[in-house]
């Protein structure tokens, strides 16, 4: 009887050890085999509904305990012709409420992603069949988006045409307010808030996007849709008010002083920068144009003499946007004692930051002699 009593604790200890070993084996199997296989299977099952192509993943990391349980390494999205559209060294998904029956993605980190647009015969059709709108409310509660060393390239008829430099982009926020910045490059857009943000299978609608930039405010609205055949289209307008040039790095040498108010309507057909067109008008109060090459050329041809007269100027510019090139249709420079109307002809390349001088034609509007 005493031998039976001593055997039960031993048996229980063995059973507990075997159970613990099974749990450990299952956990390791889940981490190294089951979970990665499940992620691959889900992507392979769901992707054809949204993407006209295939996905390649070199490795899947799964972590039970970390805030970033899923990491996709060596991600490549191909179209049906085998051309890459998105490549990333790693895609990390953070789920703060993990483990949970309804985990939501709160943070997305893209490491060295490259978006490649392929254009042939003037058309750039994205192989996107529809937008996974039903996933947005169920599985996404975005708090932060970090793009590490992201770049864009355009392939024109099979040959490289445009490639942007690698740079970081950060979108950070909570409670519906976001902060957008490109570290080391340009100003920071703070307190962004999108009202009536609607995601459907065919597109996205933002009726009002508000943010603070350069001491002023920007308000934008946009409607984007996925046309038949995968062609992306977008329409919208942007209004900027009281932006301080001293706090904004514009791609125009010398434009570092003044307060800007502007409005622009834009249209984008396709997925490359050259497919963007638009028109608008901008007013600059209290600008210092002495170091702007095109303005200095206007002054020289007008015979005004010293550049100091452009220390405190008001500028009105009517422009058109053609891809990455801004074309000045009509420009008026209001000086303390004169106003000069400049005829169309000036351009500004937003990518190369190269500005051409004015076409040379101008006329006096007013002149007061002292």
Residue found under tokens 């992620």 = 39
Please say if the pLDDT value at position 193 is more than 60: yes
Please provide the average confidence, as pLDDT, over all residues in the chain.
76
Percent of the residues in the chain that have a pLDDT greater than 70, as a whole number = 70
- Model confidence at 368, pLDDT cuts 50, 70, 90, reads very low
The pLDDT assigned to 28 comes to 45
* Strand 347-349, strand 325-334: pairing: antiparallel
pLDDT digits (tens, 9 = 90+) for 337-357: 677 777 676 777 765 544 444
CA–CA gap between residue 279 and residue 41 (Å, rounded): 47
Point out the least confidently predicted range of 180-189, 211-220, 260-269: 180-189
pLDDT digits (tens, 9 = 90+) for 290-309: 777 666 666 666 665 566 66
The pLDDT assigned to 6 comes to 52
| Residues forming beta bridges with residue 183, ordered by sequence position | none
Give the number of other Cβ atoms within 10 Å of residue 20's Cβ. 10
Please say if the pLDDT value at position 76 is more than 90: yes
Q: Once rounded to an integer, what is the mean pLDDT over residues 177-205?
A: 76
The pLDDT assigned to 369 comes to 31
Helix (H, G, I), strand (E, B) or coil at 134: helix
For residue 164, which of 125, 123, 115 has the smallest C-alpha distance? 115
The pLDDT assigned to 194 comes to 76
CA–CA gap between residue 115 and residue 93 (Å, rounded): 19
Point out the least confidently predicted range of 35-39, 111-115, 131-135, 200-204: 35-39
pLDDT digits (tens, 9 = 90+) for 115-150: 998 888 777 788 888 877 777 777 788 888 899 999
The pLDDT assigned to 360 comes to 38
Q: Once rounded to an integer, what is the mean pLDDT over residues 37-52?
A: 80
Predicted TM-score (pTM) of the model is 0.68
H-run or E-run covering 195: strand 189-200
């Amino acid at each position: 009887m005493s031998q039976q009593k001593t055997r039960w604790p031993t048996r229980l200890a063995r059973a507990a050890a075997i159970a613990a070993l099974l749990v450990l084996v299952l956990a390791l199997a889940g981490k190294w085999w089951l979970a990665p296989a499940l992620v691959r299977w889900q992507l392979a099952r769901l992707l054809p509904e949204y993407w006209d192509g295939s996905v390649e993943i070199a490795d899947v990391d799964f972590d039970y305990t970390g805030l970033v349980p899923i990491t996709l390494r060596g991600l490549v999205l191909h179209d049906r012709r085998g051309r890459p559209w998105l490549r990333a060294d790693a895609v990390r998904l953070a789920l703060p409420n993990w483990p949970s029956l309804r985990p939501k993605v709160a943070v997305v980190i893209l490491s060295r992603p490259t978006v490649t647009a392929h254009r042939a015969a003037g058309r750039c059709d994205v192989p996107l069949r529809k937008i996974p709108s039903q996933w947005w409310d169920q599985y996404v509660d975005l708090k932060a988006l970090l793009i590490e060393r992201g770049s864009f390239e355009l392939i024109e008829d099979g040959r490289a045409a445009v490639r942007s430099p690698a740079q970081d982009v950060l979108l950070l926020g909570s409670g519906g307010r976001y902060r957008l910045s490109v570290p080391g490059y340009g100003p920071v857009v703070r307190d962004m808030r999108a009202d009536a943000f609607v995601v459907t299978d065919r597109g996205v609608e933002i009726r009002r996007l508000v943010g603070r930039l350069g001491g002023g405010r920007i308000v934008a609205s946009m409607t984007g849709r996925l046309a038949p055949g995968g062609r992306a289209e977008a329409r919208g307008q942007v209004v900027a008010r009281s932006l301080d040039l001293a706090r904004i790095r514009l791609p125009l040498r010398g434009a570092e002083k003044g307060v800007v108010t502007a409005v622009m309507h834009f249209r984008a057909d396709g997925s490359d920068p050259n497919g963007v067109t638009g028109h608008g008008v901008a007013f600059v109060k209290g600008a210092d144009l002495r170091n702007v090459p095109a303005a200095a050329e206007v002054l020289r041809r007008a015979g005004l003499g010293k550049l100091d007269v452009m220390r405190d100027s008001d500028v009105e510019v009517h422009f058109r946007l053609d891809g990455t090139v801004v074309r000045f249709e009509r420009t008026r420079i209001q000086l303390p004692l004169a106003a000069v109307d400049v005829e169309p002809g000036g351009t500004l390349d937003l990518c190369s930051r190269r500005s051409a001088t004015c076409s040379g034609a101008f006329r006096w509007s007013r002149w007061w002699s002292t």
